[in-house]
Amino acid sequence: MSSTQNFSLDRILPFVYFPSSYTFLCHIYFQGHFTPKLNLFIQTLIFFKIF
C-alpha cells in the first residue's frame, strides 16, 4: 500500500514542483537580474528543457 502511494506521489510531484520553479527561473532570466554567465547557463537549461 505504501509503495503504491509513493509511486503516485513521485509521478505527480515533479509536475507540480518543477514547472513553477522553472517559470520562476524564466521570469528572473527575462528580467535580466543575472550576470551574463548565469544568463547563458539558464539559456542552456531552457534549451535542454525544450528539446
What are 1-51's pLDDT values in tens digits?
455 555 555 555 555 555 566 676 666 666 655 567 777 777 787 777 765
Distance CA 27, CA 33 (A): 10
pLDDT of residue 42: 73
Total domains in the chain come to 1
How confident is the model at residue 17, as a pLDDT? 55
Phi-psi region of 35 (alpha: psi -120 to 50; beta: other; left: phi over 0): beta
At residue 41, the pLDDT reads: 78
Which structural domain range is residue 24 located in? 2-50
Residue 42, burial from CB neighbour count under 10 angstroms (0-12, 13-18, 19+) = middle
- pTM assigned to the model: 0.29
pLDDT given at position 46: 74
